Structure 1
Amino acid sequence: MPTLYHAPNSRSTSILVLIEEMGIADRIDVVEVTVARQDGNGGPDPRNPHPEGKVPYLTDGEDHVRERGAIIAYLTDRFPETALGRPVGHPQRGTFLSWLFYYQGVMEPVLVHDWATIDHPILHATFRDLEAVFARLAEALDSQPYLLGEDYSAVDLLLSSPFQWLPDAMPEQPALRGWIRRCADRPAFHAVMAREQAGLRR
């Protein structure tokens, strides 16, 4: 059985939402671990096999997967019947993978640099800037409710996830705000967030 190493209220929460959306909670073992937090709390957990002590981290037998985009691709490929991904041979397979890699390679670095108020022409040339990222998202959502069309998918989950945690970073464009609200207003998202908050109150 695949095992997800997860720290509550962290980047790995989005993988819990994915598992809930896919309806595969009974087929994934979730192990809660501690991680070093930005406020100085927490720290490495010896139970976590991630080589840098981070989450999320997925193990499946001898195979190990890190980085959210890779974990999303792995799980949606492993359980294609859930229809949250785009399997090999699907006409949107390339678009699906492109959005996953765009998030990891462009969007998250741009958001982190903006949040840290780090600005340099090389960063703009390499990763673009927030305006360019928002323009790319707005272009994709101009005539459809989700990034791949009429139906919500795992790329919507991943690319909307930072705005659930950093509402101040939310773009002004109505189309993007509507998309972010749609992605957050899903039973799986609400169920996972309720469990995460209940865990914090224990």
Structure 2
Amino acid sequence: MLTLFHAPWSRSSRLVWLVEELGADCRIEYCDIRRMDGTGAADPRNPHPDGKVPALLHDDALITESAAVALYLTGLHPEAGLSFPPDSPQRGSLLTWMFWASGELEPSLWNKMSGAVDADAYARARYDAAMTRLLEALWEGPWLMGDRFTVADVLIGSTVGWARDHLPESPLLDAYVERLAARPAHARALARDGAPPQYAEAS
């Protein structure tokens, strides 16, 4: 049995989207987390050792970290076509994009949001390099792996969506966000995500 521990409007939202793209038989267990604004709290139901999300339970196996959960889920559902088999020449590029999301894109965006990009030359160079790489891929698009939508688009596309105001003005990015939002699984995931934290008690 698959169970995804998920806090609404958090990093685990991208995994709810992936579950919908895969058509996976996966139960969503809603839980609380500590949030950056000081709200929320660790939830004793959540098996994540750091009290974060996502956390995926597959019978007795526990998988955490977004890229690891995404890799695990796509491995269970190769028929969905969101990944490539180990012997595919495209496998390496896919894995690179998946881990680039958390290793380069997200840190660069946090630097932008915190103001570090405007104050530190290294942070600026890192942000500019990440934006250049992303835009170059989308120029060849329509997806990160060319004509094929993959799990990399779920991981990176979700980040681009919530951080759009902190990314450069670009018709390429605008069109990418529109293509992502038009996917039926994306709409289903939004409906399944849950209420934003500030409205959770009133819903």
Per the normalisation by structure 1, the TM-score is: 0.89
Q: Which of 127, 142, 145 is matched with 1:145 structurally?
A: 142
Cα offset, 1:124, TM superposition: 5.5
Specify the SS of the correspondent of 1:29: strand
Cα offset, 1:44, TM superposition: 0.2
Q: How far apart, in 1, do the equivalents of 2:161 and 2:141 lie?
A: 21
1:174 has 2:171 as partner: yes
Question: Identity over aligned residues, as a percent?
Answer: 39
What is the aligned partner in structure 2 of residue 2 from structure 1? 2
Unaligned runs of 5+ in 2: none
What is the aligned partner in structure 1 of residue 18 from structure 2? 18
AA aligned opposite 2:114: A
1:111 has 2:109 as partner: yes
Preserved CA contact (<8 Å) 2:56 2:64: yes
Mapping 1:1-202, distance limit 5 Å: 1-24=1-24, 27-119=25-117, 120-123=120-123, 128-129=126-127, 131-196=128-193, 200=200, 202=203
Query: 1:111-151 CA distances to partner (integer Å, 9 max, x unpaired)?
Result: 111111124345467xx11x211210121122320111112
Preserved CA contact (<8 Å) 2:6 2:12: yes
Preserved CA contact (<8 Å) 1:3 1:59: yes
Paired residues in the alignment total 197
Taking only aligned residues, the RMSD between alpha carbons, in angstroms, comes to 1.9
Q: How far apart, in 2, do the equivalents of 1:12 and 1:23 lie?
A: 17
AA aligned opposite 1:136: R
Relative contact order, higher structure (CA 8 A, sep 6+): 2
Query: 1:88-132 CA distances to partner (integer Å, 9 max, x unpaired)?
Result: 11221101100011111111111111111124345467xx11x21
Preserved CA contact (<8 Å) 2:2 2:26: yes
Cα offset, 1:28, TM superposition: 1.4
Unaligned runs of 5+ in 1: none
Q: 1:63 to 1:121 in 2, by over 3 A?
A: farther
Per the normalisation by structure 2, the TM-score is: 0.88
